[in-house]
Amino acid sequence: MTTPGLNAACSTTIMSAASKPTTLWAPHEREKEPLAETGEPFSCLYAVELFADLTAEDMDTLDRMAPPRLFHSGELIFSQSQPIKALFILKAGRIRIFRVAEDGKTLTIAILEPGAVFGEMLLVGLQMYDNYAEALETSTVCQLSAADVENHFLSNPKMAVKISRLLGEQVARLEERLTDMALRPLSARTAATLLTLADAAPRSRFTHSVAVKLTHEQLAGLLGATREATSKTMSDFAAKKLIKQGRGRIIIEDAVGLRRTSRTTF
């Protein structure tokens, strides 16, 4: 049920039903989709698990309060200078949550797919929170103001429970990732990360293989490694027939093999 994704600043990566058509990485897909959906009257909220317990009425109210907004590739949704003042719902596109070190290097905390909720630290009243969010592609994002959230959420006891579960899952994932970072070599981390990405990814109905739509550089950001090192690992994996490479995407060929190498120490 719950997707065990890599997402840490969001959590439910439930796909919105209509978000990704069956075509997988069809060229030109990008231009049509987000723009077409912008004006659409349907809810940002329906497909999001977090909101499932709301009454239809509440949902509609909230929906009207959550204006969709378009972000172009590379644009920042929030950052240090623009702290989180809203709860965000990703309707279409992809968002990268990341942190920045003094020297400018970044670690990406999560890559969000449509249906994800982020900026949830607002929900638990955390002020100083130095994550950045950036659109990886042209994306449309709905936002609920802090006030609206206050009124319609924190009053609802079921909601608090949901939020707890959501955060609990994040904690579990982060702990896992932390120990991976500390005790596993790059190859193992890469394999593990690919697998997690794979089952958070939109899936084609027609092929049993799954594609992860990332460049080596983006993957490197997730791994806390350099682009070069990641490229090398990917070549190795390709040589071992674990994956197949494509420009900007990686196709998982042998999931069990990956699982195995994700557990090896060297």
- Which spans of this chain sit near DNA (rule: CB under 7 A)? 27, 105, 185-187, 215-217, 224-229, 231-232, 234-235, 238, 245-248, 266
Q: Could you give the CA distance from residue 39 to residue 56 in angstroms, rounded to a whole number? A: 21
Q: For helices 255-263 and 186-200, give the axis angle rounded to 10 degrees.
A: 140
Q: Which entry of DNA, its own copies, none binds 246, CB below 5 to 8 A by partner kind?
A: DNA
What minimum distance in Å lies between the beta carbon of 158 and its own copies?
9
What minimum distance in Å lies between the beta carbon of 97 and its own copies?
9
User: Which has the closest alpha carbon to 149: 135, 139, 163?
Assistant: 163
Q: Could you give the CA distance from residue 39 to residue 16 in angstroms, rounded to a whole number? A: 17
Q: Judged by CB, which is closer to DNA: 57, or 102?
A: 102
Q: Could you give the CA distance from residue 60 to residue 116 in angstroms, rounded to a whole number? A: 19
Contact set with its own copies (CB under 8 A): 8-9, 99, 101-103, 105-107, 109, 120-121, 123-126, 129, 131, 154, 157, 160-161, 163-165, 167-172, 174-179, 181-184, 224, 263-265
Q: Judged by CB, which is closer to its own copies: 9, or 47?
A: 9
In contact, 68 and 92? CB cutoff 8 Å: no
What minimum distance in Å lies between the beta carbon of 23 and its own copies?
34
Q: Could you give the CA distance from residue 7 to residue 111 in angstroms, rounded to a whole number? A: 6
Q: Which entry of its own copies, DNA, none binds 129, CB below 5 to 8 A by partner kind?
A: its own copies
Four-CA torsion 183, 184, 190, 192, nearest 10 degrees: -80
Q: Which entry of its own copies, DNA, none binds 107, CB below 5 to 8 A by partner kind?
A: its own copies
What minimum distance in Å lies between the beta carbon of 246 and DNA?
6
Q: Judged by CB, which is closer to DNA: 41, or 104?
A: 104
Q: Which entry of DNA, its own copies, none binds 79, CB below 5 to 8 A by partner kind?
A: none
What minimum distance in Å lies between the beta carbon of 266 and its own copies?
9
| Contacts of the segment 209-212: beta carbons below 8 A, 24+ positions apart | 209/244, 209/251, 209/252, 209/253, 210/251, 210/252, 211/24, 211/25, 211/246, 211/249, 211/250, 211/251, 211/252, 212/249, 212/250, 212/251, 212/252
Q: Which entry of its own copies, DNA, none binds 227, CB below 5 to 8 A by partner kind?
A: DNA
